[in-house]
Structure 1
Amino acid sequence: MEWFWSFYNFGSGFSNANTGPGAQYNNNAGGPQYNYNYYGCGASPSKLTRTECLRSLSFSNIDARRQDIAAVHPNTGDWIFQTTEFRRWRDRTHLSDHNGVLWIKGHPGTGKSTLMKHIWGYCQQEFRDRTIAAYFFHARGDSLEKTPLGMLRSLVSQLVDNEEPTYERFLPLFRQKNPLHQNWEWRDSELMDFLVSEMQVQQRKPIVLLIDALDECSDSQARDVVKFLERLSITCLRHEVNVCICLSSRHYPHISMAKCQERVVENRNGHDMDIDIYLYDNLTKSNPYIEKLIFNKASGIFLWVVLVVAMLNKAYDEGKIEAMEQKCHTDICPQF
């Protein structure tokens, strides 16, 4: 891979050198840096250009949040697939009522991100005939992990990587950026416009877009994302392009779409059953009374249940289970 790293220099540091034929361009400044005329080691110009496009969109930890989210506990989470809202979203029925948008809402700690990762896994398994692009916002991550620009770069990157026609339509935009100009960056507006333009042409495969934790960017940015996704859904419907959009967020800040389906996590019997299953499977010492007490105090906050179960199991291992049982009656309350 030595040829690859001599070909690219994507940040500050030593200049790259091209020992092959053609013009050379070396740039020690920050930002994207390219040398277009190096076609060594059997790599074709088309492959190199696609790699250049993807690298211009990529950034550190672009999918770290999705990878870090815990998978659902066995035998939980499947209730979402049985809801009327999910089935209408999946099958694209009653489109005039929701424009192909499903919005999952819930209080902090209810397990929305875990559920969204479960939906992502379901789509990967069941929607093999569709192109799936997902983004998980991360409030404690780097700048791009919690801003609309990061979401846009990620979504466009996934579509360009998976769909040849999308790549071919994106290439002119990439070339217009003129990589020989130092420190150029993608802007929200141009990537939004590109995605909207994509929704005006028939796609080779239907598209699924999954956006998690919208509330983990600022209020104004969250409103911008909702406005953009609404614009995208309307464009898809108008041009009869098959695109399903699923997003998740807390109940606050108050943001709405004119048309979409909503599913509140904590107001679902299936979510309550998931908590019961988790308690039964994970408490070291089974105690129906304590399980019921934890369930009632949790008020649907799954993360709180996970934390309390860990505390009780640790206490049991240390021989302090009676003290912890007493604590369940008095001190432990959800703090979310």
Structure 2
Amino acid sequence: MAWLGSECYYAAHHHATARRTPGTGQWLLDDSAFEKWLSGFRENDNSGILWLRGAPGTGKSILCSTVIEHLQQHNNLVPTAYFYYDSQNSSQVSMESLSAVPTIIIDAYQLARRYGRSTASAADKIPELLRSVIENLPSVNIIVDALDECKEVEKLSTLLCTAARCSPSLHLMVFSRDTLEVQKELEQVPSMRLDASRIQQDIDRYLEDAVKSLPCSKAQIRERTFMTLSQKADGMFLFAYLGVQTLESAVNVCGMLEALENLPLGLGNVYGLILDRLAMETSARRNLAQRIFLWVCGAVRPLAWPELQCALSWDPERRIFDPSQAPFKNVVLKLCSPLVDHRTETDTFHLTHLSVYEFLREPLSSSCVSPLATCFLFDEGSSHLHISETTLAYLQIDEISNAIQVDDNAFPLCRYSTDNWGVHLSSASFNITIRNQYKNFVSDPERRLNCIARSLVSEHWPFPLQRIRRIQSQVRQWEARSVQPGTAPVDDIIDIQKALFLLDNLEQSKNSSTSRFDMEFIRELAREYTMSGNLEIGIDTFEKELAKVEENEVTFSESKSWFMNSLAILYDQQGKIQDAEKIQHRALSYLEQNLPDGHLSIIMALNDLGRICRHLKKYDECEVLHRRALEKLQKEFPEDVSKLNWTKNTLGRCLLQTGRRRGAGTPHPGLCFDESTVG
């Protein structure tokens, strides 16, 4: 399930369920629109979809958890997949949380792991995978919360709605704000607006329970509190929640009644009131709150408590991480409550609601707060500047900069800093101080390579090398403000190549029998060297590394094989095709002597040698090699695997070169290629 990334959805569902007051949401379960949706009755293609739309703070996530729990308890014969999207967590990319994992997904997982992908990605053909799962189930429910917060909202909306329209077995329910992106796909489907007429009874039920927790026990004051909050909430669940949290901070009855009467209307005004009160704290507590907001709002994923505590120990004036300045957990919990929420099941910190983030970074919000409280408002550039300064400083700690493997318990911010310092730097406001800090960081080759190596072995990304290259390009553009995409300096490419060598040496020292890296990595490096005009440097580096491996070789070395394959690709790019053929033959022979017949490395070596033979116009040999690769792939892999299709197309190119199109000659029974795309 970690490959699917579904743990984040389980945690989000658990959190929403824990916040739900018993009995709330029953009105939806009793509604005729819900009953019709659940029954599977369809008047038209859109009838299998139900859209629940509402303004920010109307309790959509809580209501979503009610539906999911109801389906799991009372309709458990039908699998239910659910997704809680969160704009604060860019790592949530999976599309599965099924209670029972179908065989199709297990097969896809096993195939992805063979290619070294630790998480599901576009390469796993998620849309096709979703359709296959649906087609193989007699009935399935898909519940999506906060669709509007998904980064690819239009693409996902189209995918899900198309699947629901094409498959009578699929029941799709979507919770979201009524945004233009969502409207584009869902405006014609059955929908329910979450307004005060529907939600108020749930808000009142919540308030009846919540006011009992307030310090004042007088029935008259509790009744007054209930009536005031109920009227001011006006169908906004989040307002009622924030109101209760505000009253809980009162020190006496007089203070509670004063806060109740002064509670303004509208979420923005309530946020402003909370910040105004926070601005009355001491300067040290204000400064801490400001940094908490910057981190919780600006981090690319929710931070666990050890990570956040470590980040908050950074002293920018003394330029050190001071453990004695690390705040206590209860102080952080109290200081920024109720705008920042702690989830105990994951020990992570989140904003209470997306609207908090929108308020803190909206320039017009300054009109809702006192001048002193404007220090808590920020723009994205400043938050990324603060985080990039902190992460770059953390990566320069000796125990981190000198190592590839770092103890997460001893250095809790290392993993986050390694993966994301470049993301933050490339989005930061530009100034000379942070630029100099960056230049100092990359000036140490060992520190630079160790950081890249740690990123390459990250389990969070299906294609870590491609991600590193993209971030390198973005940082270079930030640094110079003139570098165009695709013109990366050769130093960046060499760094990745050397980091691959470091990791390979590390794997060999552990007696690992397999390389972590697909040859697609090397093809990408070859393209980068070619584009930068520095192919000779890449070839020279690989030749030296191959010589080292052969000098020290005792048993089979995966390094030797991928070094030879890499050189063949680089020679081919350089135009030295005979040299490429010679070393590719060596690589294939070496692999066939040491690996099982159906090993993926042998198959790819066959294809690479076939491609080189085609460049040399040795078409008969080329055809034989590609047919051998195709036969092994069809025996070992499912029909829709990308490398199998690539092999068919490569064989097709060979046959086209010799004039043997479809219907002529004796093509392989599994061969199918499009002449318009393979020539």
State how far apart, in whole Å, the 2-side matches of 1:181 and 1:314 are.
Answer: 51
- Indicate conservation of the 8 Å contact 2:84/2:145, yes or no: yes
- Once the two structures are TM-superposed, the CA of residue 63 in structure 1 deviates from its matched residue by 2.7
Picking from 129, 132, 144, the partner of 1:211 is 144
Q: Does 1:109 align with 2:37?
A: no
2:192 maps to amino acid: R
- Once the two structures are TM-superposed, the CA of residue 265 in structure 1 deviates from its matched residue by 1.4
Closer, same or farther: CA 262–180 of 1 in aligned 2, 3 Å? closer
- Once the two structures are TM-superposed, the CA of residue 290 in structure 1 deviates from its matched residue by 4.3
SS of residue paired to 1:263: strand
- Indicate conservation of the 8 Å contact 1:71/1:118, yes or no: no
Closer, same or farther: CA 277–183 of 1 in aligned 2, 3 Å? closer
Q: Does 1:234 align with 2:234?
A: no
Aligned match of 1:43:
none
Aligned match of 2:30:
82
- Indicate conservation of the 8 Å contact 1:196/1:235, yes or no: no
2:200 maps to amino acid: D
- Indicate conservation of the 8 Å contact 2:4/2:119, yes or no: no
Q: Does 1:334 align with 2:267?
A: yes
Picking from 196, 200, 215, the partner of 1:272 is 200
- Indicate conservation of the 8 Å contact 1:135/1:210, yes or no: yes
State how far apart, in whole Å, the 2-side matches of 1:254 and 1:180 are.
Answer: 35
- Indicate conservation of the 8 Å contact 1:207/1:244, yes or no: yes
State how far apart, in whole Å, the 1-side matches of 2:37 and 2:27 are.
Answer: 15
What percent identity do the matched residue pairs reach?
20
Closer, same or farther: CA 99–313 of 1 in aligned 2, 3 Å? same
Closer, same or farther: CA 320–224 of 1 in aligned 2, 3 Å? same
Structure number with the bigger relative contact order (C-alpha 8 A, sep ≥ 6) is: 1
Closer, same or farther: CA 151–84 of 1 in aligned 2, 3 Å? farther
Closer, same or farther: CA 198–183 of 1 in aligned 2, 3 Å? closer
Q: Does 1:251 align with 2:251?
A: no
State how far apart, in whole Å, the 1-side matches of 2:9 and 2:70 are.
Answer: 21
- Indicate conservation of the 8 Å contact 2:228/2:260, yes or no: no
Task: Give CA-to-partner distance per residue, 1:94-132, whole Å, 9 cap, x none.
Answer: 442633111111111110000001111101110121111
Task: Give CA-to-partner distance per residue, 1:32-88, whole Å, 9 cap, x none.
Answer: xxxxxxxxxxxxxxxxxxxxxx45334663532222224421222111111121011
State how far apart, in whole Å, the 2-side matches of 1:151 and 1:178 are.
Answer: 16
1:232 maps to amino acid: A
Closer, same or farther: CA 134–322 of 1 in aligned 2, 3 Å? closer
SS of residue paired to 2:142: strand
Aligned match of 1:320:
255
2:163 maps to amino acid: L
State how far apart, in whole Å, the 1-side matches of 2:241 and 2:117 are.
Answer: 49
- Once the two structures are TM-superposed, the CA of residue 187 in structure 1 deviates from its matched residue by 0.8
2:164 maps to amino acid: S
Closer, same or farther: CA 185–318 of 1 in aligned 2, 3 Å? same
SS of residue paired to 1:151: coil
- Indicate conservation of the 8 Å contact 2:6/2:94, yes or no: no
- Indicate conservation of the 8 Å contact 2:53/2:194, yes or no: yes
- Indicate conservation of the 8 Å contact 2:51/2:186, yes or no: no
- Indicate conservation of the 8 Å contact 2:200/2:234, yes or no: no
State how far apart, in whole Å, the 2-side matches of 1:103 and 1:188 are.
Answer: 30
Q: Give me the TM-score of the superposition, normalised by structure 1.
A: 0.68
- Once the two structures are TM-superposed, the CA of residue 295 in structure 1 deviates from its matched residue by 2.4
Q: Does 1:61 align with 2:4?
A: no
Q: Does 1:299 align with 2:234?
A: yes
Q: Does 1:222 align with 2:149?
A: no
State how far apart, in whole Å, the 1-side matches of 2:206 and 2:114 are.
Answer: 52
State how far apart, in whole Å, the 1-side matches of 2:206 and 2:7 are.
Answer: 34
SS of residue paired to 1:208: strand
Picking from 94, 117, 132, the partner of 1:151 is 94
Q: Give me the TM-score of the superposition, normalised by structure 2.
A: 0.35
Q: Does 1:140 align with 2:68?
A: no
- Once the two structures are TM-superposed, the CA of residue 236 in structure 1 deviates from its matched residue by 0.5
- Residue ranges of structure 1 left out of the alignment (5+ in a row): 1-53
Closer, same or farther: CA 72–62 of 1 in aligned 2, 3 Å? closer
1:183-194 aligned within 5 A: 186-187=121-122, 190-194=125-129
- Residue ranges of structure 2 left out of the alignment (5+ in a row): 269-354, 356-679
Aligned length: 259
- Once the two structures are TM-superposed, the CA of residue 197 in structure 1 deviates from its matched residue by 3.1
Closer, same or farther: CA 293–318 of 1 in aligned 2, 3 Å? closer
State how far apart, in whole Å, the 1-side matches of 2:46 and 2:160 are.
Answer: 12
State how far apart, in whole Å, the 1-side matches of 2:207 and 2:240 are.
Answer: 8
**Which shifted more, 113-122 or 311-320?**
311-320
- Indicate conservation of the 8 Å contact 2:154/2:181, yes or no: no
Closer, same or farther: CA 184–118 of 1 in aligned 2, 3 Å? closer
2:177 maps to amino acid: R
State how far apart, in whole Å, the 1-side matches of 2:231 and 2:123 are.
Answer: 45
When you count helix as a share of all residues, which structure comes out higher?
2
